[in-house]
Structures are given as structure tokens and as C-alpha cells.
Amino acid sequence: MTCAFTLEHYRDLLRAARAGGYRFAGFDRAPEAGDVILRHDVDLSLDAALAVAEVEAEQGAWSTWFLMTRSVFYNLASSEGERALARLRELGHRVAHHAVYPNVDLDERFDPVVAWHNPDPDYMHAEIPDAVNVMQPPFFVQGHYRSDSNQHWRSGCPHEELARGAFDWVQILTHPEIWAYDGDTMRESMESFLTAERAARLELMRHDRIDLS
Ligand SMILES: [Zn+2]
Ligand SMILES: [Zn+2]
């Protein structure tokens, strides 16, 4: 098995979690032995989020999706954003808030759970009033956390440890754009994303009655 950042290998990760005897869990209660908490920070693309969300649903898995209200790349208040929110809920996922410090825009669209976008160390693990900070105990604990940041698993791809039940419990952060778009490096995946984005934006322009003839 090769540890590529592809939807195929994401599927392997989900199967490995099942093989290891894990259950999927969220941020509504403290982690327990046997929990895999799948967390996704959506930085760039709702399309990528939906692609990964569909794979999870197809595998009988669910996760928590952290969506931005202040993204420079997508608009959650657009019709596309509303459709994505509805689809994530419909697939059985949870929706939480990927916030840009210091703004917490929790409203009825979100569960009261926050993950800061690119946090600085001075507030990363701090209390957030009336919300769960996913980077605070009990959810963030040394040895119980893995992240695919910039298309690199700092402690290695967790599929093998999941399959043999090596974690007591674990929070796994993945960014859907890395898995939904092809590329052996972050740069290549971003180029693939931009290619897809160009086509998608041309389609939006047509919808917007922009003459592209
Ligand atoms: Zn792997
Ligand atoms: Zn982010």
C-alpha cells in the first residue's frame, strides 16, 4: 500500500480505522478509548470538502467539518456554500467553525466547536468562551493527534497504526484539498486545484450571464 494523498488512500485510512476496531466520534464529549475523531479544516475548497465527505459516507464514516466564514477562497454565504452545508449535514457529518483570529462567528450553521485557522502559539490552546477549542485538552493531547499539514504527516501516515489499533484514541486532522486534488507535493496539488477552480469559475461566470463568446 502506498501512502499517497489520494481519495483511494483516504478510503484505506477509513478501512484501517474500522479494521482496528475504532468508532468515529466528534467533539461533543471527551474522547474515549477506541475513538477516531476525524477533523477537516476547509481552507480552500468546498468542492474538495464534498468529495471527501462523500467518500466517508460511502464507507459508513462521519467526521466534523470546520468551515470558514472569512475565507478569501470561498463564500459560505453563497448558494454554493449553503448547498455544501446542507449536503454535509445530509450525509451525517457535523459542521463546526474554522475561525480567523480573533473573530468567532458561531451561529446556527455551526455546532459550538472552533478550530482556529493558522493559529499563533499564544492563543492556539486558549479557552474560547461558549465553544470547544479542538486544540485544547481533552481533545488535543500529545500522542493522540495527527495532521496532514502541507501534505506531510509529521509522524508518518497513520493507516498502519489505525489498522492494528495502536492508538488508544486519536484526533486526525486532514485538509480535503490535499486528498481531492492530484499531486505528489503540496505545490502540485495546489496546481491541480487551480486547474479545477478555473473550470468551475468559468461555469459560474456563465451562470452570472457573463458573455464568454
Ligand atoms: Zn498510509
Ligand atoms: Zn485552516
81-109 pLDDT, tens digit per residue, is: 999 999 999 999 999 999 999 999 999 99
- pLDDT value of position 140: 98
- pLDDT value of position 15: 98
> Counting ligands in written order, which one lies closest to the CA of residue 115?
2
Mapped onto helix, strand or coil, the DSSP state of residue 52 is helix
- Going from the Cα of 100 to the center of ligand 2, the distance in angstroms, rounded, reads 8
- Going from the Cα of 47 to the center of ligand 1, the distance in angstroms, rounded, reads 23
- pLDDT value of position 162: 98
CA–CA gap between residue 177 and residue 105 (Å, rounded): 23
- Going from the Cα of 10 to the center of ligand 1, the distance in angstroms, rounded, reads 8
- pLDDT value of position 2: 80
- Going from the Cα of 170 to the center of ligand 1, the distance in angstroms, rounded, reads 15
For residue 67, the tally of other CB atoms under 10 A from its CB is 23
Q: With bands split at pLDDT 50, 70 and 90, how would you rate the model's confidence at 128?
A: very high
- Going from the Cα of 123 to the center of ligand 2, the distance in angstroms, rounded, reads 15
Write out pLDDT tens, residues 155-201. Answer: 999 999 999 999 999 999 999 999 999 999 999 999 999 999 999 99
